[in-house]
């Protein structure tokens, strides 16, 4: 006698429906939540002041809250382009950039190559020693350098056997500012170059040595091309920020003098706004400088993409 066993009933598998809108939003939202604080600060402290500066450049205002802002149209830009100080300050800015490039490119590369083999605790001590000037406040260093460059009892004149008034003479004021600023920046640039050198694989040098290449040939044809992205970054920083880096020293030591010898475009912008109390003219200068440096940065980035080599 056979007992018929009923066949198992197949249950239909639940169909996986599409995620709901809420679920998809909850998955996509976290990255934006992490970025939200940084984006909010960027909007508040960068883009909002930039928009306000652009608006202020079309008004005439003396910074007094009791005085209204009067529409000026393009008059601020016209007055700015007619001022002879603008062209002179641009020329001085180029001089500052050229003067700082040895401190941010040449000296750091030489120091980085010569100290590449330092390791252990000695390397930490060397890096701390080189970076120390960057930690000194510009105002504090300005006081020390004023004493060092004093025409009467300054160490510089005693060592060189001269009686120059380095800060208060038109011929030496700007070179003095460049020297002090370079002393501040060289440690930072050396650390950047050292980081770039440490990222270059040693296999290239070993292979070149097996082929009979000299140390100079390895440096010229392997190390420096692979270091080019780091060098382009330092050049970009120097071009864009030189005038800003020198501002604390100029404001503390020379106030743009003597005879405007140290007035670059950054100090000129500040002078229009807070010495002459011509906020509209200062805002117009700020917008022109922003556009000019933006174009320079775009050109440098475009060149870097075509001239640099990468260790892929």
Please spell the DSSP secondary structure of 57-75, one letter per residue.
Answer: TTEE--S-TTSPPEE-TTH
Segment of 52-56, 65-69, 83-87, 306-310 carrying the highest mean pLDDT = 52-56
pLDDT value of residue 8:
57
**Mean pLDDT score, 236-258:** 89
Q: Please report where in the chains the tokens 């209204």 appear, as a residue.
A: 68
- Report the percentage of the chain scoring pLDDT > 70: 92
CA distance 99 to 187: 16
Residue spans of alpha helices (H) in 57-169: 75-82, 84-101, 107-114, 120-135, 138-148, 155-160
Q: What share of the chain is helix, strand, coil (3-state, %, to 5)?
A: 70, 0, 25
Q: What does the pLDDT read at residue 311?
A: 65
Which residue did the predictor score with more confidence, 9 or 190?
A: 190
31 pLDDT exceeds 90?
Answer: no
- Residue-level pLDDT at 238: 92
Regarding predicted confidence, which is higher, 83 or 23? 83
Query: What percent of the chain is predicted at pLDDT more than 90?
Result: 21
Please report the pLDDT score of residue 1 as a whole number: 46
pLDDT at 94 over 70: yes
State the distance between the two ends of the chain, measured CA to CA, in whole angstroms: 79
Q: Could you tell me the pLDDT band of residue 101, with boundaries at 50, 70 and 90?
A: very high
For residues 265 and 89, the answer to whether their CB atoms sit within 8 Å is yes
Residue among 162, 160, 145 at smallest CA distance from 250: 145
Which domains are seen in the chain, by residue range?
Answer: 75-279 (1.10.3720.10)
Q: What local confidence, expressed as pLDDT, does residue 4 receive? A: 57
């Amino acid at each position: 006698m056979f007992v018929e066993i009923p066949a198992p009933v197949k249950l239909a598998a639940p169909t996986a429906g599409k995620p709901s809108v809420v679920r998809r939003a909850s998955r996509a939202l976290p990255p934006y939540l992490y970025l939200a604080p940084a984006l909010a600060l960027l909007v508040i402290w960068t883009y909002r002041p930039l928009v306000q500066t652009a608006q202020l450049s079309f008004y005439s205002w003396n910074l007094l809250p009791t005085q209204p802002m009067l529409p000026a149209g393009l008059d601020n830009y016209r007055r700015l382009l007619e001022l002879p100080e603008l062209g002179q300050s641009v020329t001085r800015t180029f001089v500052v950039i050229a003067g700082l490039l040895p401190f941010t490119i040449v000296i750091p590369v030489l120091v980085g190559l010569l100290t590449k083999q330092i390791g252990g605790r000695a390397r930490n001590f060397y890096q701390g020693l080189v970076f120390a000037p960057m930690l000194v406040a510009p105002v504090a260093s300005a006081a020390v350098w004023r004493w060092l460059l004093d025409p009467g009892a300054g160490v510089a004149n005693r060592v060189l056997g001269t009686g120059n008034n380095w800060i208060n003479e038109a011929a030496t004021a700007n070179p003095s500012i460049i020297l002090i600023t370079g002393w501040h920046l060289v440690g930072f640039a050396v650390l950047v170059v050292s980081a770039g050198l440490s990222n270059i694989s040693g296999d290239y040098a070993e292979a070149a040595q097996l082929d009979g290449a000299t140390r100079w040939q390895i440096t010229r044809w392997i190390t420096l091309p692979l270091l080019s992205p780091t060098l382009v970054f330092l050049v970009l920083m120097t071009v864009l920020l030189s005038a800003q880096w020198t501002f604390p020293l100029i404001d503390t030591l020379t106030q743009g003098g003597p005879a405007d010898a140290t007035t670059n475009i950054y100090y000129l912008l500040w002078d229009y706004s807070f010495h002459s109390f011509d906020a509209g003219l200062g805002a117009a200068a700020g917008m022109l400088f922003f556009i000019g440096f933006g174009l320079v940065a775009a050109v440098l980035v475009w060149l870097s993409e075509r001239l640099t080599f990468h260790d892929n």
